[in-house]
Structures are given as C-alpha cells and as structure tokens.
C-alpha cells in the first residue's frame, strides 16, 4: 500500500481517482475510458487531421475541464485555458488574435465519438449524449486545420471520466497539460 500511495502522490491525484483508475485497468475497462485521440465520427472511423507539434517560441497551452449537473437537462462543461486563444476560424477573429500564443479551437468527444467543435470556454451537453454508468468526455486542442496540437508527441487534451447516476459524478480528471496555478 505504501508503494501505491507514493505512485498516487507522484501522479498528483486523489486516492479515490487513483483507486478508480486501478479498478478500471484490473476490470478491463473499455478503450474509451482512457485518454487517447478518440474516433472522429459515430461509425468509429478516424477522420485523420493529424497532429501538429508546437514550435519553440510558444508557451505550451494548459487545459483543465470541469463538469456540472445542469438543473434542466444534461451537464455544463467549463474549460479553463492558459496560453491558448480559443477562437472560431473566422478571418476577422484570427487577424485580431495576439500572435504571442497559440490559437485554434477544441474538439469535444463523448465516449469516443466526436460531438462538435468548441469555440468558447463554456458549453451545455444534453443528457441524451450520456448513458447510465461510466462515460468519458475528451477535449482536444486543435489548430484551424483541425490538427491536434502536440508537445513532444503528446496530444494536448483533457479527459473527464464520470459515472452518470452515481456520486461522485466525476471519477477522474486527466490533462496532458494541466493548468499550473503558478503560471497564471
């Protein structure tokens, strides 16, 4: 148990999240439970837009995601971003965007299926997108040609594992580039 505690502390996660992840591995969780680039459409076919490595001179974007139950229906997703300008691919927005940081949009996946592009920090997710039990929400940061931004080959994305119909709702938070409070 001491070794597991050391690994958990090194990963910076709570004991509940850590034990949940271990159980998911031991029980043979489906592939979509863990962060990876999900399929891009409902047929499970990957629409490969490729990846794009962040070049030197740009700070690495930081991404965090939170989800809250909506009293009317579904959930509200909130993205926290640092060093990234999330904007629609409209010329007037792109022209006025500061070039000192990366820009683009995000892709939203629920249970491995691409749902939509994201051009802002907050969005509503209707309840019909989720099933009872374990669900995942993955958000990837993408350039305006839809390539996923990477750092040393790792895609910039965040994944929430949630258990619909149970408490706590969120079982695990993962980010390839988490928000570092000291950098704000």
- 105-137 pLDDT, tens digit per residue, is 999 999 999 999 999 999 999 999 999 999 999
Q: What's residue 21's pLDDT?
A: 45
- Number of structural domains (the chain) is 1
Q: What's residue 97's pLDDT?
A: 57
Distance CA 153, CA 172 (A): 23
For residue 177, what are the contacts with CB-CB under 8 A and spacing of at least 6?
Answer: 60, 61, 62, 63, 151, 156
CA distances for 85 relative to 114, 140, 159, 168, angstroms: 21, 14, 20, 32
CA-based nearest residue to 143, from 104, 175, 108: 104
Question: For residue 14, is it within any domain?
Answer: no
Q: What is the pLDDT of residues 4-31, one digit of tens each?
A: 454 444 444 455 544 444 444 434 444 4
| Cβ 79 vs Cβ 106: under 8 Å | yes
Q: What's residue 38's pLDDT?
A: 52
Question: For residue 145, is it within any domain?
Answer: yes
Q: What's residue 49's pLDDT?
A: 74
- pTM, full prediction: 0.72
CA distances for 151 relative to 22, 56, 133, 144, 148, angstroms: 26, 10, 32, 17, 10
Domain containing residue 135: 35-183
Question: For residue 134, is it within any domain?
Answer: yes
Residue 178: pLDDT over 70: yes
- Enter the tokens of residue 120: 């802002």
Please compute the mean of the pLDDT values over residues 130-157 and round it to a whole number.
95
Distance CA 16, CA 21 (A): 9
42 by Cβ neighbours in 10 Å (0-12 / 13-18 / 19+) ranks as exposed
Residue 46: pLDDT over 50: no
Question: For residue 29, is it within any domain?
Answer: no
Taking all residues of the chain, what is their mean pLDDT, rounded to a whole number?
79
Question: For residue 2, is it within any domain?
Answer: no
For residue 184, what are the contacts with CB-CB under 8 A and spacing of at least 6?
Answer: 82
Question: For residue 86, is it within any domain?
Answer: yes
Q: What's residue 183's pLDDT?
A: 47
Among the listed ranges 33-37, 60-64, 108-112, which one has the minimum average pLDDT value? 33-37
Question: For residue 30, is it within any domain?
Answer: no
Question: For residue 118, is it within any domain?
Answer: yes
């Amino acid at each position: 148990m001491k070794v597991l505690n050391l690994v958990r502390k090194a990963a910076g996660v709570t004991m509940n999240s850590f034990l949940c992840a271990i159980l998911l591995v031991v029980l043979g969780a489906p592939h979509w439970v863990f962060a990876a680039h999900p399929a891009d459409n409902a047929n499970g076919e990957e629409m490969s837009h490729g990846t794009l490595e962040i070049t030197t001179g740009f700070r690495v974007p930081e991404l965090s995601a939170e989800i809250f139950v909506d009293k009317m229906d579904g959930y509200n997703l909130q993205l926290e971003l640092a060093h990234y300008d999330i904007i629609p691919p409209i010329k007037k927005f792109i022209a006025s965007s500061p070039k000192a940081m990366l820009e683009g949009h995000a892709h939203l996946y629920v249970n491995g299926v691409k749902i939509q592009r994201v051009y802002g920090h907050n969005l509503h997710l209707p309840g019909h997108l989720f099933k009872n039990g374990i669900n995942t929400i993955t958000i990837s940061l993408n350039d305006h040609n839809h390539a996923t931004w990477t750092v040393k080959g790792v895609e910039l994305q965040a994944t929430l594992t949630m258990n619909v119909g149970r408490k706590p709702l969120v079982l695990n938070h993962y980010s390839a580039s988490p928000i570092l409070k000291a950098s704000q």
